[in-house]
Structure 1
Amino acid sequence: MYLFTSESVSAGHPDKCADIIADTIVDRLLQQDSNARVATEVFLSGKHIIIGGEVKTTALVGEKFYQDAALDALRLIGYPEKGFSHGETIDPKEAEIKVIVSQQSADISIGVDQKGGELGAGDQGMMFGYATNETKELMPAAIVYSRKIRDALYAYAKAHPEQFGVDIKTQVTLDYGSKENFMLGKVQKIVTIVAAIPHVSHLSIDEVRKTIKRVIGETLKDDPLFHPESIEFFIDHTGRFVMHSFIADSGLSGRKVVCDTYGGYAPIGGGSQSSKDYTKVDRSGLYVARWIAKHIVAAGLAHKALVEIAYVIGRAKPISVTIDTLATATTTLSDELLSEKIQAQFPLTPAWITNHFGLDKPSKETFLYADVAARGQVGYDEYPWEQLDALSWFQKLKA
């Protein structure tokens, strides 16, 4: 056996609630001022919501703007669920919201806003992109499975709030059979499925487990690896999960970066994506690194690709771009030469990344950062940074 496990959390998880509130603020500020600079953090505990950080914008916003963003986000997530009492879940109407948002330091603007429309990186740091051929999304399989189950349970909970809550966690363990199969992305079977989902107090644990197994089964019924008779299920394993949301467990923005990206299959960078505008390379750098990695695998240059990009505050061009095909390259092109060719072809500056993906213009028609925060920062084909719009150039490298 060669096992690997990844987990996911739903939009109703306290940490995700914090991310979604933070990114609702980013969306709404950029929609009013595409040049807004945003770095807010959100902390949730009990009935308290604290919004802090720094913002620079021409939009006229006050405390009510931030309070409305928080309340609207929680309602959209699905709070409160009508089957639970006020002591068992959060009711947005009862939340006490404190706003501590200050003006962003002018010292940052010196390096970020440059002549000719160029943008210097809004911070230093390194970001990682990853792709693998083991799923059609070119994502690691365990995170794909855990998200698929999460999304199904979340949809079921939102449709049945008299039975289930939206604060959900899932986890999937896969067996690759051998290290060689792992390197080639060949999953052999699903070993375990873990699900934690709040249920109303009058539901028996047997009812809960039967219902959740049925939802999982319906979700994966056409998957050739889904053989429920040989899978070990852990559903609400303590036997009771009634009290939930940040009434029961505090939430903090930026704390689910592994769930947001590759499920532990690849390194993570120095910071989270949520709560930040596009000049912060924790966000834009990750997106372009994933875009490069996905193109490398989609073009057939390798079975797997790991991309590291590093920036320094105030400088537009990255200080390093490193490609590692993890000994799975299918051509004689070295990783070093591949890195050089990519850097020569694509500027990879914050301005180029922003313009290429439209990061300064979030909308319902393109993408919303709050939706990205809820689902995951990478791995969904409709995101602009998941588009294979430069595939022909990468394919030429194989010749």
Structure 2
Amino acid sequence: MYLFTSEVVSPGHPDKCADIIADSIVDAHIIADPNARVASEVFVAGKNVIIGGEVTSKANLTDKDYVKIVKDALAKIGYDGKSTFDRTQTLHPDDVKVQVLLNQQSPDINQGVDQEGGETGAGDQGIMFGFASNETADFMPSAITYARVLCEKVYHFALKHNHKLGVDIKTQVTMDYGTKENFENCEPQKIHTIVISAPSVENMDITEVRALLKGMIDDAGLPTNLYDPNNTIIHLNPTGRYVNHGPLHDSGLTGRKLIVDSFGGYAPIGGGAQSSKDYTKVDRSGLYAARWIAKHIVAAGLAKKATVQISYAIGVAKPTSVSVDSYGTVIEGLNDDILSTFVIENFALTPNWITRKFSLDKPSAETFLYADVASRGQVGQSDYPWEKLDSLEMFKALKK
């Protein structure tokens, strides 16, 4: 055996609640003012939601507006007060108290970001990593892909059947690659272990809960060549009782689920979170660009997997470095030096370039919303603009 595990949490997890609220604030500001600068951290604890950070925006949201954003976000997540869980078991929106502690962005930062001539400097220094693998159709590692599939299955069931399950859900999948060589060559052999924890109402027997969750696993569409229901180790609500859940019973904070949001621990991650930040913050935009490049490298058949690192200096538009690591899986005739040089020479990777490429200043219900990205993961969802394989021929030309 050679095992690798990734976990995923649902939008109802307290940390994800914080991320979704924070990005609902980002959406509200950028939709009203595409040049808004936002960095609004959110802390959720019990019945309290605290919003702190800095905002410079023409939207001029009031404290009352922020309260509505918080309660609307929680209701959409599933904390809408309509479930069978009582006020001692989970969060009810009418009980929520919101404290707003926001300041304007420092002019010292702003002078480096919004530059004369229209260029945009990086909103901070930092490192970002994008990754792709040929293990799945979405060019993501298999463990986090299947953990997401299961999490989405159980979460959407919980939304429709709130008289049975709550929305604070965790899933975990362990892949067996058989050997380290198979792991290095992106060749998983089977799903070894599945773990699901989902809150159930007080009157549901644990046997019924486990049968319900097992049925959802079998119906989730996991690849039949990897998932054998008779030979997969499965842990369902392992403690035996899971009723009390959500922010009422556990605190949540923006940026605490970076592994869940990215590549499930399979690849390096950058130094900062994406949620809560506008598109000039390269923690967000740099990840999207690096993922777009890595995905193109793998989708073009240049390597089985690839990590792209980008780094920035605050107030400077061009990256301070760009590098590609294909883990020795690059095709004959190419190497990582060639790939790195190709990326540097063909893609500006400035905040302005990334913003225009993916329309990051134009979130909408028709394109993408940052709050939706916060709930589903920052990468790996095919409908995101930074997941589009729109320059594949350019990369494939490297084969010639």
Distance between the aligned counterparts of 2:244 and 2:214, measured in 1? 21
Structure 2 residue identity aligned to 1:95 = V
Distance between the aligned counterparts of 1:22 and 1:265, measured in 2? 26
Distance between the aligned counterparts of 2:377 and 2:96, measured in 1? 26
TM-score, length-normalised on structure 2?
0.99
CA contact (8 A) 1:220 1:226 kept: no
Distance between the aligned counterparts of 2:118 and 2:157, measured in 1? 46
CA contact (8 A) 1:22 1:253 kept: yes
Distance between the aligned counterparts of 1:292 and 1:318, measured in 2? 14
Distance between the aligned counterparts of 1:215 and 1:54, measured in 2? 42
The Cα shift of 1:83 comes to: 1.0
Distance between the aligned counterparts of 2:71 and 2:146, measured in 1? 31
* SS in structure 1 of the partner of residue 193 of structure 2: strand
CA contact (8 A) 2:146 2:222 kept: no
Structure 2 residue identity aligned to 1:135 = T
CA contact (8 A) 2:296 2:395 kept: yes
Structure 1 residue identity aligned to 2:238 = H
2:292 corresponds in structure 1 to 291
Write the mapping of 1:206-285 to structure 2, written as runs, cut at 5 A. 206-220=207-221, 223-285=224-286
2:67 corresponds in structure 1 to 67
The Cα shift of 1:180 comes to: 1.1
Q: Which moved more, 1:215-224 or 1:262-271?
A: 215-224
Distance between the aligned counterparts of 1:305 and 1:280, measured in 2? 24
The Cα shift of 1:328 comes to: 0.3
Write the mapping of 1:1-399 to structure 2, written as runs, cut at 5 A. 1-79=1-79, 80-220=81-221, 223-399=224-400
Distance between the aligned counterparts of 2:9 and 2:223, measured in 1? 23
Structure 2 residue identity aligned to 1:264 = G
Q: Deviations over 1:222-256 (max 9, x none)?
A: 63211111111111101000000011110001100
Distance between the aligned counterparts of 2:312 and 2:293, measured in 1? 16
Distance between the aligned counterparts of 1:222 and 1:361, measured in 2? 36
Distance between the aligned counterparts of 2:82 and 2:374, measured in 1? 21
The Cα shift of 1:81 comes to: 4.7
* SS in structure 1 of the partner of residue 219 of structure 2: helix
Structure 1 residue identity aligned to 2:191 = I
Structure 1 residue identity aligned to 2:107 = A
CA contact (8 A) 1:331 1:398 kept: no
Structure 1 residue identity aligned to 2:13 = H
Q: Deviations over 1:113-162 (max 9, x none)?
A: 01222100000000000000010100000000000000000011011100
Aligned residue pairs total 399
* SS in structure 1 of the partner of residue 117 of structure 2: helix
Structure 1 residue identity aligned to 2:3 = L
Q: Which moved more, 1:107-116 or 1:27-36?
A: 107-116
Q: Deviations over 1:326-383 (max 9, x none)?
A: 0000132221121112111110000000000000000011000000000000001110
* SS in structure 2 of the partner of residue 195 of structure 1: strand
- Structure 1 gap ranges (5+): none
Distance between the aligned counterparts of 1:162 and 1:253, measured in 2? 29
Distance between the aligned counterparts of 1:42 and 1:282, measured in 2? 17
Q: Deviations over 1:197-228 (max 9, x none)?
A: 00001111111000010011111366321111
CA contact (8 A) 1:125 1:282 kept: yes
* SS in structure 2 of the partner of residue 115 of structure 1: coil
* SS in structure 2 of the partner of residue 267 of structure 1: coil
Structure 1 residue identity aligned to 2:298 = V
Q: Deviations over 1:157-211 (max 9, x none)?
A: 0111001000000000010001111111111111110001000011111110000
Q: CA RMSD in A?
A: 0.9
TM-score, length-normalised on structure 1?
0.99
